[in-house]
Amino acid sequence: MSGGVDSAVAAARARDAGHDVTGVHLALARNPQTFRTGARGCCTLEDSRDARRAADVIGIPFYVWDMAEEFHESVVDDFVSEYAAGRTPNPCLRCNEKIKFAAVLDRAVALGFDAVVTGHHARLGADGLLRRSVDLPKDQSYVLAVLTRAQLDRAVFPLGDSTKEQVRAEAAARGLAVADKPDSHDICFISDGDTRGFLESRLGSAPGDIVDGRTGEKLGTHNGAYGFTVGQRKGLDLRVPAADGRPRYVLSITPVSNTVTVGPREDLAVDVVTADRPIWHASSDISDCEVQLRAHGEVVGASVAVTSESLVATLKSPARGVAAGQAIVAYRPDPAGDIVLGSATITAGSRASTHA
């Protein structure tokens, strides 16, 4: 129970469904006085009190579990080292994979609980299939697709059939004060929202070149390649305008040479995506599915070939802003909610053919 409206309503629904429910709030900061005092994120002291209050209203026991060490090692350190390696990690996904449905689940099972209930917006029904939420803008199946079959078997997502608006209305009807609490959008361990500043404090300043992807010309300098993400347009601070006067985007990051390569929008387009560490729930050769390449990103048609170690997706139309480190999640469209076929971690995007 993060202290937000979703987990509070999820807990209440699980209790109403007849389960013996215990509320758990995760303390994720090593030093409770540091990032737990910020007004943002989802692990402040105020959030902990909100979660406790919600548990009291629902009428369930409530505990704070200290997962700071695990969170730091599996999520924060991973976040920093992924950026240092020129990739763009998704810490929420990593937290689901390593904390909520691993460390928390393992502890809960050992204590005699059967499952972890969360307020994620995704559907997981009797058929065991993970599907998108009915509320597509709030759908979180993308950051849950990393869960293995065993993890999904011990997961309960009571909110997938409801829109966020319905969840808020239900919270209000249940007398939960968090009903109108704003959504959290930021990375919870970067309390001021300044990701680049956070990375700079961890990785130090590492000046390098920004070069043109077509000509190889040096266009400017940066203070650390880790501050950039493929597809990024803002914050390049280039003094040399492009010949055609059009905006330039980050095309790639090369940690070895500490180079950020930029170019026009069309050079971002890729139609083959390779990925590793697949978690796959379907047949290994899918000729027709949809893939999503970042959280809340566009969905494109693709064919996918999967082995135990890798995944190759051939896109039916080019995608832009495909960053290594993000997840590729494959879906099969379905009237009862698009079904997650599996997920993998993007290693590269490339162009197999020339699109006009």
Residue numbers at the binding site for other proteins (CB under 8 A): 20, 22, 25, 27, 29, 32-33, 36, 45, 48, 52, 61, 63-66, 68, 103, 106-107, 110-112
**Are 169 and 140 spatial neighbours (Cβ–Cβ below 8 Å)?**
no
Q: Which is nearer to other proteins, 29 or 176 (CB)?
A: 29
The distance of closest approach from Cβ of residue 181 to other proteins in the complex, given in angstroms and rounded to an integer, is 18
The distance of closest approach from Cβ of residue 96 to other proteins in the complex, given in angstroms and rounded to an integer, is 17
Catalytic residue selected from 42, 43, 92, 95: 95
Selection from 189, 184, 152, 187 nearest residue 73 by Cα: 189
Catalytic residue selected from 42, 43, 92, 188: 188
Q: Kindly tell me the number of DSSP H helices and DSSP E strands found in the chain.
A: 10, 16
Q: Which is nearer to other proteins, 18 or 335 (CB)?
A: 18
**Distances in Å between the alpha carbon of 314 and those of 28, 195, 311, 352?**
39, 32, 10, 9
Q: Which is nearer to other proteins, 60 or 199 (CB)?
A: 60
Q: Which is nearer to other proteins, 36 or 132 (CB)?
A: 36
Tell me 43's DSSP state: -
Give the chain's radius of gyration (CA, Å): 21
Helices of type H across 145-218: 149-153, 164-173, 195-203
The distance of closest approach from Cβ of residue 14 to other proteins in the complex, given in angstroms and rounded to an integer, is 16
State the CB neighbour count (10 A cutoff) for residue 316: 13
- Catalytic (active site) residue 92: no
Q: Return the SS3 of 283.
A: coil
Q: Which helix (H) or strand (E) holds 58?
A: helix 45-58
Q: Which is nearer to other proteins, 33 or 287 (CB)?
A: 33
Q: According to the annotation, is 119 in a ligand binding site?
A: yes
Q: According to the annotation, is 26 in a ligand binding site?
A: yes
Residues recorded for the chain: 356
b/e per residue 116-132 (b: at least 16 CB within 10 A): bbbbbbbbbeeeebbbb
Backbone angles phi, psi at 213, to 5 degrees: -65, -25
- Catalytic (active site) residue 95: yes
**Distances in Å between the alpha carbon of 101 and those of 5, 142, 145, 188, 251?**
20, 15, 12, 18, 34
The distance of closest approach from Cβ of residue 111 to other proteins in the complex, given in angstroms and rounded to an integer, is 5
The distance of closest approach from Cβ of residue 229 to other proteins in the complex, given in angstroms and rounded to an integer, is 32
- Residues with a catalytic annotation lie at 95, 188
Q: Which residues are annotated as a binding site for ATP?
A: 26, 119
Q: Which residues are annotated as a binding site?
A: 26, 119
